[in-house]
Structure 1
Amino acid sequence: MDLNYLVREPENIASDTPILFMLHGYGSNEQDLFNFRETLPSDWIIVSFRAPRDTQFEGFSWYDIDFNNPENFIDVPQAKESLNALLESMLRIINHYGLMDAKAHLCGFSQGGILSYALALQYPEMFKYVACMSSYPEPKILDHIVKDKKKLEHVRFFISHGTEDAVIPLEWGRKAADLLYDLGYYFSFREYMSGHGVNQKNYMDLMEFFSK
C-alpha cells in the first residue's frame, strides 16, 4: 500500500540530515500537521503522510473506529496494515534520501499518535524524538515491545494531553507515562487546559522539544 505524503526538503541534504514523519488524526489529512513546518528546524526533511482510508467527512483515517463498541472500537487488522504501510514508506523515503547516519523523528496526533507509539515502542532503534499528542499506546496493535534498554536509551518522548479531552480520556494518556517509565524511556508528560487538540502553549512546548 503506497501512502501519499507532502514533503518539505531543506536546501542541503546529507546522510545525517534529520527527517521528521508526521501522522495526522482521524478525519484529518496530510495538510494538518504539515502546517507546523514553518516553526520546525529548517535543516530537517519533513514528511507528512495521508492515512489510506476515507472517512465520511472528507478526511482520512488510519483505521476505522466503531464508536458504538467501546470494547473493540479499533479495527485491529486495518491498524496493523497502516503500521506496515508506514514502516515500508518510511524506510523507502529514508533510503531515497540516503539518510544512512540519521535517526528519524515522529510526530503524531490522536490516531496518528497511537500509531507513533506503536512504531516507536516496536522499532526504537529507528527513532530519536517522538511526540505523541492526545493519544495513548494501544496494546492490541503492539505485537512486541522492545525492552532492551540499550536500544531505547537514545529515544526521547514528548507526550501531551488536554485535561478536557472528550475523545481520548486523559487517564489513557497518563497510562502512556506509566508504560514509558516502566520501560525506562526518557519522556516529558504535559497536560494542558484544552480539549482534543493542540493549544498555543502545547504547540510552543512541542516546538521547543523538536529544536533541542
Structure 2
Amino acid sequence: MNLDYIVREPENITKNTTILFMLHGYGSNEQDLFSFRETLPKDWLIVSFRAPRNTQFEGFSWYDIDFNNPENFVDIPQATQSLNSIMESILKIVTHYEITEGKTNLCGFSQGGILCYALALKYPEMFNYVACLSSYPEEKLLTGIVKDKKKLEKLRFFVSHGTDDAVIPLEWGRKAADLLYDLGCYFTFREYMSGHGVNQKNYIDLMDFFSK
C-alpha cells in the first residue's frame, strides 16, 4: 500500500544524499514532525509519512491502541501491515530519487517511534541514524530481529522520554536502553522533565544528534 507523504527536497540530490523518513504519533499527521525541517541539515531530503488509518478529529494512526489493555496495547496485525507499507514506500522513494549511496535515517514519535525500532532492527542494513521519541520497543513487533552485532554496527539510536509521560510510561521507554545494550548497538538515552512530547532541551539534543 502506498503511503501519502510530504517532502522537502534539497537544492541538489545526488546518489549520496542523506534521506530522513519521519513517522508521526497516534492521532497526528504528516505535518507534525515535518516542522523539524527548519533546523535539520539543508542538504537532506526529508520525507514525512501520513499513517494509513483514520482516527477522531481528522488525525491518523499506524494501528489501533487499546489503552485499557497494556498487555495488548498494540494491534499487532495492523502494526505489521503498516511496517510493510512503510518499508515498501521507503524503497520506492529511495529508488525514485536514485539515492544509492546516501544514508537513510528515521525519526518517529510515540507510535511512530515504536515502528522505528522494528524497522531499524529488522532491516539494519537499510538505516543509519534512528531517533525514537516518547516510545518503546514493542516485543511482539521484534520477533525475528537481527542479532548479528556486525550487521547492527552502523546503527546509531537517539532515545528520549519524558519523566511525566502519561501515555507511554517511562518504565516502558527505559526498556530500550536494556534492549539496545544487549544487542551491542550504539545509543544515547535521555530523560527530560516533560510529558508525552518533545520539550526544547529534547529538541536541541535531537538536532545535535542529527547534525553529527
When normalised by structure 2's length, the TM-score is 0.98
CA distance in 1: counterparts of 2:52 and 2:25, whole angstroms: 12
CA distance in 2: counterparts of 1:143 and 1:93, whole angstroms: 26
1:168-204 residue CA offsets vs partner (Å, 9 max, x unmatched): 0111111100000000000000000000000000000
1:185 counterpart residue number: 185
CA distance in 2: counterparts of 1:162 and 1:70, whole angstroms: 19
SS of the residue corresponding to residue 71 of structure 1 reads helix
1:69 counterpart residue number: 69
1:106-148 residue CA offsets vs partner (Å, 9 max, x unmatched): 0000000000000001111111100000000101112311111
CA distance in 2: counterparts of 1:18 and 1:203, whole angstroms: 20
1:23-54 residue CA offsets vs partner (Å, 9 max, x unmatched): 00000000000000000000000000000000
1:163 counterpart residue number: 163
- Counterpart residue type for residue 139 of structure 1: E
User: What's the C-alpha RMSD, in Å, of the aligned pairs?
Assistant: 0.7
CA distance in 2: counterparts of 1:170 and 1:128, whole angstroms: 25
2:172 counterpart residue number: 172
Give 5+ residue unaligned stretches, structure 1. Answer: none
Question: Which stretch shows the higher mean deviation, 84-93 or 71-80?
Answer: 71-80
2:201 counterpart residue number: 201
Matched ranges for 1:36-115 at <5 A: 36-115=36-115
How far the C-alpha of 1:72 sits from its partner, in A, is: 1.2
CA distance in 1: counterparts of 2:86 and 2:33, whole angstroms: 16
- Counterpart residue type for residue 65 of structure 2: I
How far the C-alpha of 1:13 sits from its partner, in A, is: 0.6
Question: Which stretch shows the higher mean deviation, 147-156 or 115-124?
Answer: 147-156
1:40-97 residue CA offsets vs partner (Å, 9 max, x unmatched): 0000000000000000121000000122222212111000000000000000000001
CA distance in 1: counterparts of 2:70 and 2:38, whole angstroms: 38
Tell me which stretches of 4 or more aligned residues in structure 1 moved more than 4 Å.
Answer: none
State yes or no: 1:29 paired with 2:16: no
Give the number of aligned pairs.
212
1:17 counterpart residue number: 17
When normalised by structure 1's length, the TM-score is 0.98
Instruction: Report the identity percentage.
Output: 79
SS of the residue corresponding to residue 195 of structure 1 reads coil
